[in-house]
């Protein structure tokens, strides 16, 4: 590839290997010179099914490279029913999960990207299939075709494309041990031909049982002691292990333009075959290897001496190593700069199908880190390699590369059968302009403002896993930019049904909230309505909203509109009370109410401008007037006049007092005289008494004597008491001049506790009586609780309404409301408002959060935290029928003999689906039990939800055919495909079968 336009970038890498669950662990294992191949205990080998007579032989080698957790798989993420996940080949499971992680490492959301993403991959033969086919219960319930489809390597690439919604070429590559590297070559060619914009390339190999060991055969390729010694004088065989490796490739120019991290650049790749000019089908060929290395070198445009490291195939066999070294010397020449040769097979064994791709990942890491890890298990370099006097040496010790110059590396993989692959890589250094653009500065809370972190998962448990992983990454990243994290989470991650969000201004706060679970939650299938709760008089504070107005243009504009409207009807300027020196303590009602109205109206409408739309609004006393305005009952000008008039009239009433108490029983006799009333029922344990000074003084004394918790409120008047009667009458007269409209948003009444009717909303009498009647906030909350509302945004300063919401919902076990405040603490107004937007996003991911995720580039973040569960069919050493292999994954299927038709016919129904479980009794209940067991045998989980359709439970069309046949055999009747597809729940299927047994039509 002589032109930069033909260079291919490796933008992300993923692997899962013995003792290395990821690229970082893989690299550390290499750097430390550790081996991942371990001894097996006799108990492990016996548990793998190896007979005692075989495992006790002297030539039986009890060593293996074992991947932990192979039985676990996140079936929910990929939409598999438990039973279908049980029979899916572990190689295909690894491919699916690793592909998700690979794309996330590149910050690509396959559901939203416009890129055509290809898949080029191969796998080993499924040995998991052997165990599945021996399970007669699985074969009978699912059918052999379903089991084979789940294990056939033909479907590796296409299954990945289907499950991840990838639309580029999807091609299986199978060339034995060179598969992984040949897959890379195929992906490179597809990119160069513009068939795709990005490509997943790699391979997976898992042989089961993992703990079986193997029998050594003299003259074979396997090591007699389970140790692979690449290029060592004592090299006597390899040891096959398990693993997966994947890379994501892009054209370099596209990767740079997209701001991707480039680990290394593929400068050239070549593939050929030895043909027939070799000793045998399985033998290597010097000439074939020389040609493929030479072809790649020529395509790359590099000189022979540019290559200073080669990750060799290096199997540690007496025949293979010398042939490979000879080919290297012929292709790359004997003279020039020193060139190291290494092989990871000493660390991880021979990864078979995946060997080449793991070698490529290692070489890319070598160039990225500027360091060559040692090749292990080399006590003495094999003299037969004849390296003395040449420029080549085996890297038996760690070797730093020259970071001051461009570094080149070659990677080889040679497949049994003669297909050879070679890739040439070179290091990548971004240009100063690219590097500058990619840099994300650490947080400066004062300058950057709050960021909204959004993340999602396929289940609640996985969501918690996402939060934990994100917190750990933030905690370990002192240079983290929250804006870059927010931008990456928003743009580079798939949106899943369970959502979470939070706003934060600094890293420490984000970590604390993530670890404590203090983030907002939402779910695709849940109730996501939001209620705006407007605070009442007494919640005002100094300079409320001033800090937010300097940062949020929507709020500043809305506040200015509201202040202008209110100022037309007051003899003071509301702005006087909004500044940092504005007095608010002890201000008159005629000032407090217009001030609160202006700020709360601006907060609510600014939130709506930001995309957060309430489904319900309610307020406490004055707050209901603001809520009604936001709901459209009053326009802004009318509302401003109304509030100013209301406040002036209330402020002119006789003075009085108010007292908060936690119960009422001790005051019942005092409430009979009319001088003391219940002004508000805020919650089941919080009430407000209102009346004359004398009546309240007596109530205070009564509370002290009875041990009732109480607090006198800092008010000058007895609101919501008969002392407001004069104001109510004058206000009623004024209201006849106001134009009312029907609410456009459900408005919950303080007076009735119900959703306000149009008649009430447009009645002057309702709003006049509002001054006198009890604020029944507790009943309002009960209405919202019954409606399923769990999300509340407090409109106003502080947390008083949030505390009341929490107090009202605390009595319901297990119910935790989602709460946000628009103006929380004085010093965090902007963050509080952003957190309200975050709550809006959790409820509705269409709420835009771009303004709170402003970084130009994405960064590396943790990949999806899969919620893995055991899906396992015990593997076998080989395939063969076994009458004792029918132990089920859950419970065994035991279906009674065919059921005779009931003696008495039930009343006919309009259709099978219309009759529910309540209609089932007698013989029909017995039929339903049999049907439920059959469903369970196919789905793999109890089919307790009898009304859920088969396909909703995770079934597919192939499984449906098998299930229909099972029903036919069990009940000895002609149960049609149409019958099932139209009636595929347990209950509906039962009704169809019952009708057929009675010779009644199930449908017309």
Write out the catalytic residue numbers: 177, 313, 350, 621
- Tell me if residue 592 falls in helix, strand or coil: helix
The C-alpha atoms of residue 514 and residue 494 are separated, in whole angstroms, by 19
Q: Please tell me whether the peptide bond between 209 and the residue prior to it is cis, using omega within 30 degrees of 0.
A: yes
State phi, psi for 817 to the nearest 5 degrees.
-70, 150
Q: What is the gyration radius of the CA atoms in the chain, in angstroms?
A: 36
The C-alpha atoms of residue 611 and residue 605 are separated, in whole angstroms, by 10
- Cα–Cα distances (Å) from 941 to 583, 891, 985, in that order, read 65, 10, 14
Query: In terms of DSSP H, where are the helices of 258-354?
Result: 286-300, 320-332, 345-348
950: its two tokens: 């088969």
- CA within 13 Å, CB half, 850: 5
How many other C-beta atoms are found inside a 10 Å radius of the C-beta of residue 254? 16
142: its two tokens: 């699912």
How many other C-beta atoms are found inside a 10 Å radius of the C-beta of residue 392? 20
CA angle, 10 then 12 then 17, to 5°: 110
The C-alpha atoms of residue 164 and residue 155 are separated, in whole angstroms, by 14
- Measure the CA dihedral 86/92/98/101, to 10°: -70
Chain centroid to CA 595? 43
Would you give the DSSP letter of residue 444?
Answer: -
Residue located via tokens 């929910």: 76
Q: Residues 938, 980: contact at Cβ < 8 Å? A: no
* β-strand partners of 268: 424
Chain centroid to CA 464? 9
- Secondary structure element (H or E) that encloses residue 990, with its range: helix 986-997
Residue located via tokens 């067991």: 933
Q: Residues 831, 450: contact at Cβ < 8 Å? A: yes
- Tell me if residue 839 falls in helix, strand or coil: helix
CA angle, 338 then 343 then 345, to 5°: 170
Query: In terms of DSSP H, where are the helices of 844-956?
Result: 923-939
276: its two tokens: 């027939």
- Tell me if residue 834 falls in helix, strand or coil: helix
- Secondary structure element (H or E) that encloses residue 531, with its range: strand 530-534
Tell me which residue of 522, 528, 516 sits closest to 498, measured CA to CA.
522
DSSP per-residue string spanning 312-329: ------TTHHHHHHHHHH
DSSP per-residue string spanning 848-867: --GGG---SS----------
Q: Residues 54, 60: contact at Cβ < 8 Å? A: yes
The C-alpha atoms of residue 178 and residue 176 are separated, in whole angstroms, by 6
Chain centroid to CA 967? 38
């Amino acid at each position: 590839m002589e032109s930069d336009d033909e260079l291919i970038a490796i933008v992300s890498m993923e692997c899962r290997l013995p003792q290395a669950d990821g690229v970082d662990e893989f690299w550390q294992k290499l750097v430390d010179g550790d081996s991942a191949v371990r001894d097996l205990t006799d108990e492990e080998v016996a548990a793998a099914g190896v007979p005692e007579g075989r495992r006790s032989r002297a030539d039986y080698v009890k060593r293996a490279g074992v991947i932990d957790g192979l039985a676990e798989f996140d079936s929910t993420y990929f939409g598999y029913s438990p039973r279908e996940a049980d029979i899916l080949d572990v190689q295909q499971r690894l491919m699916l999960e690793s592909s998700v992680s690979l794309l996330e490492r590149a910050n690509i959301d396959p559901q939203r990207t416009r890129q055509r993403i290809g898949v080029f991959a191969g796998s080993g033969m499924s040995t998991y299939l052997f165990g599945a086919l021996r399970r007669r219960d699985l074969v009978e319930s699912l059918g052999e075709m379903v089991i084979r489809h789940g294990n056939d390597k033909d479907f590796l690439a296409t299954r990945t494309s289907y499950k991840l919604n990838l639309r580029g070429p999807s091609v299986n590559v199978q060339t034995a041990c060179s598969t992984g590297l040949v897959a890379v070559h195929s992906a490179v060619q597809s990119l160069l031909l513009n068939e795709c914009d990005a490509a997943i390339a790699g391979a997976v190999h898992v042989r089961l049982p993992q703990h079986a060991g193997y029998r050594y055969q003299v003259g074979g390729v396997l090591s007699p002691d389970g140790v692979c010694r690449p290029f060592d004088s004592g090299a006597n065989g390899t040891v096959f292990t398990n693993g997966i490796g994947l890379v994501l490739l892009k054209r370099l120019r596209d990767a740079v333009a997209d701001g991707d991290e480039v680990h290394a650049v593929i400068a050239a790749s070549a593939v050929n075959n030895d043909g027939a000019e070799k000793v045998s089908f399985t033998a290597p060929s010097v000439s074939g290897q020389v040609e493929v290395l030479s072809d790649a070198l020529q395509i790359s445009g590099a000189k022979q001496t540019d290559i200073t490291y080669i990750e060799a195939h290096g199997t540690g066999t007496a025949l293979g190593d010398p042939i490979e070294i000879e080919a290297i010397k012929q292709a790359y020449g004997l003279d020039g700069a020193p060139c190291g040769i290494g092989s990871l097979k000493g660390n991880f064994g021979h990864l078979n199908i995946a060997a080449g791709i793991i070698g490529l990942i290692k070489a890319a890491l070598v160039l990225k880190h500027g360091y060559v890890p040692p090749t292990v298990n080399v006590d003495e370099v094999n003299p037969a390699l004849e390296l003395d006097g040449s420029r080549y040496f085996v890297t038996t010790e760690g070797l730093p590369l020259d970071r001051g110059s461009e570094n080149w590396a070659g990677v080889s993989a040679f497949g049994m059968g003669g297909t050879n692959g070679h890739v040439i890589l070179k290091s990548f250094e971004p240009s100063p302009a690219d590097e500058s653009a990619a840099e994300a500065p650490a947080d400066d809370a004062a300058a950057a403002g709050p960021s909204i972190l959004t993340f999602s998962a396929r289940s609640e448990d996985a969501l918690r896993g996402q939060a934990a992983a994100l917190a750990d990454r933030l905690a370990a990243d002192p240079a983290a930019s929250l804006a870059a994290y927010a931008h990456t989470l928003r743009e580079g991650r798939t949106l899943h049904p369970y959502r979470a969000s939070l706003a934060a201004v600094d890293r420490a706060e984000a970590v604390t909230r993530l670890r404590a679970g203090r983030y907002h939650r939402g779910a695709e299938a849940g109730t996501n309505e939001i209620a705006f709760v407007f605070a009442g008089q007494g919640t005002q504070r100094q300079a409320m909203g001033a800090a937010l107005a300097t940062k949020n243009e929507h709020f500043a504009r809305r506040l200015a509109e509201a202040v202008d409207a209110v100022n037309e009807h007051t003899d003071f300027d509301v702005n006087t009370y909004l500044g940092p020196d504005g007095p608010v303590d002890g201000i008159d009602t005629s000032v407090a109410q217009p001030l609160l109205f202006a700020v709360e109206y601006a907060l609510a409408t600014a939130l709506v401008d930001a995309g957060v739309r309430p489904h319900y609004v309610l307020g406490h006393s004055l707050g209901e007037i603001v809520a009604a305005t936001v709901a459209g009952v009053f326009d802004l000008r009318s509302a401003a006049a109304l509030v100013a008039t209301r406040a002036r009239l209330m402020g002119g009433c006789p003075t009085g007092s108010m007292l908060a108490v936690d119960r009422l029983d001790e005051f019942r006799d005092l409430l009979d005289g009319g001088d003391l009333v219940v002004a508000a029922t805020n919650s089941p344990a919080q009430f407000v008494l209102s009346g004359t000074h004398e009546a309240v003084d007596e109530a205070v004394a009564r509370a002290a004597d009875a041990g009732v918790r109480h607090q006198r409120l800092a008010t000058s008047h007895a609101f919501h008491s008969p002392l407001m009667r004069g104001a109510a009458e004058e206000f009623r007269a004024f209201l006849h001049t106001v134009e009312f409209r029907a609410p456009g948003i459900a408005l919950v009444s303080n007076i009735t506790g119900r959703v306000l009717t149009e008649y009430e909303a447009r009645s002057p009498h309702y709003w006049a009586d509002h001054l006198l009647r009890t604020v029944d906030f507790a009943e309002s909350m009960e209405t919202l609780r019954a409606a399923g509302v769990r999300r509340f945004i407090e409109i106003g300063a502080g947390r008083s309404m949030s505390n009341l919401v929490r107090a009202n919902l605390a009595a319901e076990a297990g119910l935790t409301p989602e709460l946000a405040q628009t103006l929380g603490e004085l010093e965090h107004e902007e963050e509080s408002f952003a957190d309200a937007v975050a709550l809006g996003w959790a409820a509705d991911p269409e709420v835009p959060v771009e303004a709170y995720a402003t970084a130009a580039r994405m960064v590396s973040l943790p990949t999806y935290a899969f919620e893995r569960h055991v899906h396992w069919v015990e593997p076998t050493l080989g395939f063969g029928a076994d009458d004792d292999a029918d132990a089920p994954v859950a419970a065994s299927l035991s279906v009674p003999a065919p059921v005779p038709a009931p003696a008495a016919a039930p009343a006919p129904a309009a259709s099978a689906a219309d009759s529910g479980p309540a209609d089932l009794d007698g013989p029909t209940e017995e039929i339903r039990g049999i049907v439920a067991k059959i469903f369970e045998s196919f789905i793999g989980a109890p089919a307790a939800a009898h009304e859920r359709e088969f396909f909703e439970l995770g079934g597919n069309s192939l499984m449906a055919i098998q299930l229909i046949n099972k029903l036919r055999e069990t009940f000895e009747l002609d149960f049609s495909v149409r019958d099932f597809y139209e009636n595929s729940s347990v209950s509906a299927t039962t009704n169809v079968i019952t009708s057929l047994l009675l010779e009644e039509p199930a449908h017309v």
